[in-house]
Structure 1
Amino acid sequence: MNPEQILQPTLDLIKETGLFIRREGRNFDRSKIEQKGLNDLVSYVDKQAEERLVSGLRQLLPGCGFIAEEGTAQAADEEYKWVIDPLDGTTNFLHGLPPHAVSVGLLQGRELVLGVVYEVIGDELFWAQKGQGAYCNGQRISVSPIDKLSGGLMATGFPYYDFGMMEVYLQILNEFMRSSHGLRRLGSAAVDLVYTAMGRFEGFYEYNLNAWDVAAGILIVQEAGGTVTDFKGGSDYLFGREIIATNGRVHAEVLEIIRSRWHKGQGK
């Protein structure tokens, strides 16, 4: 597989899928919302977007596997696996709110080699290839130069179905409110990550995330010069369901606030 050969067709496919989402969003009928679980919503738009992506990506890279949110296709022991969230920020979309995004990452074994996020409403296409830097709409991007958390803006996500760590989560929230310029909750982890990559946020953290929420954004942050870890400071952030992504310069401060409270709250 030559990454250069599939990059532009992949970008085109993902943007086309995002434009489909935008068109459907203009006149979306909320009676067509389905509920997969507590506050876990889906619509025909998510499903059809994923079908478009799987069909197109399978043609670009025959024999590949898929880790996809809506289960359109599955992975087995393939060398290359696409990790797909066809509509990250579904709840935003269903309520007519930005941001929401298409997020697609490509794994070779367990290494991310390509990541693409298209933020639908802002028409911003982010991508990164392993070792090739990160880009937004064709322009090279990099993380913020801010080197103190006190001068930074943080992003996070709120629990929406698993509230077992709510008390600890609120303690961490309180600490960041006091230690930074503030926090934002946009409702799309993929967008939080790419906004960190281009310096709009100094950092982002969240738990109970799936691989398809973060795969593309992880590589984009890393290629933009940022740092990504789990809540222990380790590397189990793709499948480990917890992630901290920062500009690198404030990572130690962010990690200390989270690590000192999170694992104590878990009794570890």
Structure 2
Amino acid sequence: MAIPLLEYAPLSQNNRVAGYEVPGDEQPRIFSTDNLLSATDLDNLIEAAYRQIFFHAFESDRERFLESQLRSGQITVREFIRGLALSNTFTGSFYNLNSNYRFVEHCVQRILGRDVYSEREKIAWSIVVATKGRAGFINDLLNSDEYLENFGDTIVPYQRRRVLPSGASELPFNIKSPRYDEYYRAKLGFPQIIWQTIVRRYTPPDKQPKAGDPALFASMAQSINPTGNPPQQISPYNIDYEKAVPYRRR
């Protein structure tokens, strides 16, 4: 018998109210198969899905079979997102290198497009991961009412609240939630402290020499190291002035 999902609620009533923001640069761009005009639009939609789930997909990380099914209309965008979340790349980069709590946080951010409400929500979904497995947890997120109401079968998930009520912009998920947990970051050996014995000096751009500045040629002039000719040591007693003075001959 499956354990029912533990009940959880937002910590603030503001999370229940739909956001009202003036459109600007921080508003997310919505990629949907409902308004595709060309094959390029579908390419952009696929790239947006990779950015949302993987943050970045190398050539070896791309799911060509899923892309082919999406292009031919055999699967929906929701099924494409399901395939990416269950892929070997997402499993090896997020599931294998994080605890269940951190994995739940990553999936809620990338699939539902928001932060977890509280620790109680992390615990609730981590129980689902422990009882139903990774695939059952992903399926429950994609089949939830929250996902269907906001994205449905045609819209790529996105970070829904980039603009906070105070007017400040919320950081993207990939910046404030690193891929690796603290334990695995320490195990992999980063961040590393690098000691430098050479002191690097910083010169402001306004004080850097411009083209034609003699300072740019100082090192070149010093590297030439020219040597002049020593003066001749001639005694005035050895000079025959009568023969040295020119005169006109008839």
Same-fold call, TM > 0.5?
Answer: no
TM tier, shorter chain? under 0.3
Larger Rg: 2
Normalized per residue, the structure richer in helix is: 2
Higher strand share: 1
TM-score, normalized by length of structure 1?
A: 0.22
Q: What is the TM-score normalised by the length of structure 2? A: 0.23
The structure showing larger relative contact order (alpha-carbon pairs under 8 Å, at least 6 residues apart) is 2
